[in-house]
Amino acid sequence: MALDKQILERLAGVVGKDYCSDADFIVQPYAKSLDSVSGRRAPAAVVIPQSTEEVSGIVKIANEFKVPILPRGSGADLTMGAKPTKDGVILLDLNKRMNKIVNIDIDHGVATVEAGVQWGQLITALLAQGYYTGQLGPANSATTIGGGIANASVGGGGETMFAGPGRLVTSLEVVLPTGEIIHTGSAANKNGKPWFGGRFLGGPDLTGMFIGDPGVLGIKTKVSLQIFPMPQFWKCKTYLVPGDNRKGLEGEKIDLLKDIRVAVEICKDWEKIGNPGIHSIAYFNFGCFNSMAGAEYYEPWTRVLEPGEINQNGALAMIMCAASQEALDANLKMVDEVCEKHGCKVFGDAIEEGNYAEWLLWKTGNWSYAHWFWGGAAGPGAAFNIMDVQWDGLVDGLEADFKVYEDRLIDYQDSNMPLPAIILSPVGGGVKLVSGCPTRDEIPELPQAEKMRFDLRMEDARCILDQGGMPIWTGPLYSQFMVEKGYYEESYFKFFKSIKDTLDPNGILSPGKFHFND
């Protein structure tokens, strides 16, 4: 749907005509989200603002003409959120010009960045001063900080020590859906500024209201994050977790979740001793290794197994850090003892000996969800679910999930989704769970194939939602499913909607990114 030329001229007046276009060749590349289930829909126009004031100007024009707008970071949304959910939308690309690191304030333990700064970009700048954001990686270092905060996720997984980017935010600068600009946390004081401990001051935690919103309550234009000195002593270790390696002959029932159950017990035991020095943990089941780890890892991994024997073991990859070598060694001893108790094999320290954790950290530069898995998945997108679930819901959820996989094996295979991959990243009392299948789709995205993938993905999600799990990204994908299937408490949903209606009376901001059923 073409945009009124008058609106385009007004937008050009705000950002300049070089940064505003409705040409087909400009808008079509913005038609995809990262997922492989939602097809493509191009915005009516794309604008690339350079400042908070320009964002505010765009929002005011959108309200004047009642035209929907969609802010987006680097466009790597797994839940259909990086592309419009309806026609006629103006897309704001915040990654290209609002990508400056505003300030790294070592004294006050905080870094302030424009929302379009990428995680890797900030971490690189911080490391130069011996600091970091408390995350290793993140999973996709190319994603923007604004996007990560809006989805409460990016960089997620494996952050045992710091538990996700949302907790690290101290203050936000937000353009509200009506165009006003506000600052939260300690920066709400006219004389104040963001600082490490400043988030919960002066009133309710309005910073938190915009974390995981997902971009429907305001456009984050600047983010202030806590920063930490980079620990000097590190250790990466990888443990092979025992699984059920019976052959399954003559109808013998195999427990495909045995290794996961053991991994859960190990992680719970580590939690009980306070996760001593553990920075990050990620568990990868055998499905991950078999299908996606790549020759470099699969070969040494198989070498430590019994030759000729069936292997259905997964591996725990763990990163520790400490302020001294003595502390590191002492913590490592405690951690190792737990693994020994549960019968794990330990991979050698070298990458060549199968130390997956070492490789993830130092060679790929991506940790936790192992962004490079997407390389294994490839194709036009990934059909993963990423959800947090508490310990006592995890195994039941996965049992249901594996049952679905067994029942619908043909559908999975027809959709080029050959086997279930599971990644677990403990976050305290539970895990961030990646489940589902990679899609190796080398053919055009046929609508029926997308629908099948959508169904399978939601079926997979249902198994975890039924056990009390929640997605870390809501987006059009999960929010619609959860609202329509009645997962949200009714009063919560009404409360959220009333906030949205109050802040965005014209309903112009990110329509459909959360399914308000209107």
Partner 1 sequence: MRKQKKKLYRTKFHNVEDMDPRSYEWCMQCGSCLNDHRLLAGIQGACPIFNHGKQFEVYMPRGRMQAIRAILEGRLEPSQEFVNSVYMCTTCNVCTEICHATHTDTQSWPITRVNDRANTFENLRADLMELGFSHLDGHRILLRSLMDYDNPWGQPRRAKANWARRTGVGGKNLGKRNDHIDVLLFHGCTAPLDQSLQGVTLDTGLLLDKAGVNWGFLGEREICCGSISMRTGEQGIFKGLVKRNVELFNDLYDNYGMRTIVTSCAGCFKTLFQDYTEFAEYDGEVGTIKAEILHTTQFVKRLLEQGKLQFGNGFHLKATYHDPCHLGRHCHLYETPRELLQSLPGVEFQEMFRNRKYSLCCGCGGGLKSGYPDIAQSIGIERVEEAEGTGAQYIVTTCPFCEQNIRDAIKGKSSKIKVVDLVQLMALSTGARTGEVPAIGEKSAELPQEPYGAC
Q: Given the rule CB under 8 A, which residues bind partner 1?
A: 18-19, 21, 23-26, 28-34, 36, 40, 42, 46, 48, 74-76, 82, 93, 95-97, 99, 118, 120-121, 123-124, 127, 140-143, 292-297, 361-366, 371-372, 374-382, 441-444
CB 341 → partner 1: shortest distance, Å? 32
Q: Residue 260 — left, alpha, or beta (φ > 0 → left; ψ -120 to 50 → alpha)?
A: alpha
Q: Which is nearer to partner 1, 123 or 267 (CB)?
A: 123
CB 233 → partner 1: shortest distance, Å? 16
3-state secondary structure 469-516: CEECCCHHHHHHHHHHCCCCCHHHHHHHHHHHHHHCCCCCECCCCCCC
Q: Is residue 444 classed exposed, middle or buried when 0-12, 13-18 and 19+ CB atoms within 10 A define those classes?
A: exposed
Q: Which is nearer to partner 1, 152 or 383 (CB)?
A: 383
Phi/psi of residue 115, each to 5°?
-65, -25
Using the structure block, give the residue that is written with the tokens 């539970």.
Answer: 430
CB 239 → partner 1: shortest distance, Å? 21
CB 135 → partner 1: shortest distance, Å? 12
How remote is the C-alpha of 355 from its chain's centroid? 24
Cα distance between residue 86 and residue 39, in whole Å: 12
- The pair of three-digit structure tokens given for residue 446, joined into one six-digit string: 């046929």
Q: Which is nearer to partner 1, 74 or 467 (CB)?
A: 74
CB 382 → partner 1: shortest distance, Å? 6
How would you list the strands of the sheet with 69-72, edge to edge? 20-21, 45-47, 90-93, 69-72
Those residues whose C-beta lies under 8 Å from the C-beta of residue 422, and which sit 6 or more positions away, are: 260, 283, 284, 285, 287, 288, 314, 398, 433, 434, 435
> Would you list the DSSP string of 262-331?
HHHHHHHHHHHTT-TTEEEEEEE-HHHHHHHS-HHHHHHHHHTSPTTS-----EEEEEEEESSHHHHHHH
Q: Which is nearer to partner 1, 444 or 486 (CB)?
A: 444
Q: Which is nearer to partner 1, 25 or 492 (CB)?
A: 25
Q: Which is nearer to partner 1, 293 or 316 (CB)?
A: 293
Q: Which is nearer to partner 1, 21 or 506 (CB)?
A: 21
CB 381 → partner 1: shortest distance, Å? 5
Cα distance between residue 80 and residue 429, in whole Å: 29
Secondary element (H or E) of residue 179: none
Cα distance between residue 74 and residue 144, in whole Å: 6
Is the distance from CB of 264 to CB of 394 less than 8 angstroms? yes
CB 249 → partner 1: shortest distance, Å? 33
Nearest to 377 by CA among 324, 434, 299, 311: 434
CB 309 → partner 1: shortest distance, Å? 25
Q: Which is nearer to partner 1, 289 or 481 (CB)?
A: 289
CB 81 → partner 1: shortest distance, Å? 12
Q: Which is nearer to partner 1, 36 or 355 (CB)?
A: 36
Q: Which is nearer to partner 1, 157 or 469 (CB)?
A: 157
Q: Which is nearer to partner 1, 11 or 42 (CB)?
A: 42
CB 374 → partner 1: shortest distance, Å? 5
Angle, vertex CA 204, rays to CA 199 and CA 209, nearest 5: 80
Is the distance from CB of 159 to CB of 149 less than 8 angstroms? no
Those residues whose C-beta lies under 8 Å from the C-beta of residue 515, and which sit 6 or more positions away, are: 476, 479, 480, 482, 483, 484
CB 99 → partner 1: shortest distance, Å? 8
Residue type, 260: I
Q: Which is nearer to partner 1, 374 or 493 (CB)?
A: 374
CB 344 → partner 1: shortest distance, Å? 24
Q: Which is nearer to partner 1, 40 or 485 (CB)?
A: 40
- The pair of three-digit structure tokens given for residue 190, joined into one six-digit string: 């006219």
Is the distance from CB of 43 to CB of 90 less than 8 angstroms? yes
CB 191 → partner 1: shortest distance, Å? 34
Cα distance between residue 111 and residue 194, in whole Å: 9
Cα distance between residue 247 and residue 219, in whole Å: 54
Those residues whose C-beta lies under 8 Å from the C-beta of residue 178, and which sit 6 or more positions away, are: 59, 60, 63, 503, 504, 505
